[in-house]
Amino acid sequence: MGTLVAVTLAAAALLQLVAALLALRAMPHSGIYRYPWIALSLALALMVERRVVPLLDFHDGMADLLDALFALLISALIAFSLVGLDRLLRAIRAHEEQLTRLATTDALTGLANRRHLLSELEKELRRAERSGRPLSVLMIDLDHFKDINDRCGHAVGDEVLAAVAARCRARLRAVDLCGRSGGEEFVVLLPEAEAEGALTTAERLCADLAETPIDTAGGPLGVTISIGIATHRPRSPSTDEKAEDEATRLAQALLQRADDALYRAKGGGRNCVRVDAGTSPANGGIVADGGHLAPGSR
């Protein structure tokens, strides 16, 4: 009987230790409930001592089989419950990540959606104001996209949109953010990029699409894009945090300037880049047509 009691007490102590370790293992998945989970983990770890003491007292005849079985049952139930809680926390975290992706990502292209774009643009504008560094925006529109849908069908049109998104991602820096603002229109945020750098990037994107047809289910398809550029230049670094409505106003104004430049690119024959008048480095304007940079007027 004594040996059975000792084994039971030892098993209870071991299971209690396992429960504490399981709680610690699940802690990274506890999210905003991290601190309560830390408290739970510490409580379970301290309870190991409550399982070890009877085992030490066993030699003095102070432990019996009933107490040992009761301790074993409690520890087993705690360990079993924590296995389930660990799986629950992992499932919750996975669902949270999935919901975040759905809320911020365009389903067709995998790019940022309009809401996420606007949110990130406001954040980047605040950062630009603090650092005194510029921020450029590209407004991209596929040329004659309605004709593609009418001639080839919407399925091919979706293939084209996805391919354009993939090419844009491949030509951008890791810090840049490309998103689909709606329909066949895309927006690219270029943190700390002056007009010259934004123009080089836009020219590269424009030339890449014009020179390499897109493979679709209906065969290779030639696609071109038009791009408008606008750059925000803070006057000097500022420690004053922009109010939310002020950041929203700046974001809308910057997008409108880029959209105006895009409108001129569309009116200028498409497959070209136009820089917003307030953005142009030389105030005389820079025009990029057909993949070639050249001075030009507006």
- Which of the residues are catalytic? 184
Q: Please provide residue 238's backbone torsions phi and psi, each rounded to the nearest 5 degrees.
A: -135, 140
Residues 162-165: contacts with CB under 8 Å, at least 24 apart? 162/108, 162/109, 162/110, 163/214, 163/215, 163/216, 163/223, 164/109, 164/209, 164/214, 164/223, 164/225, 165/109, 165/110, 165/111
Residue 288: which H helix or E strand, with range?
strand 286-289
Residue 105: which H helix or E strand, with range?
none
Residue 191: which H helix or E strand, with range?
strand 185-191
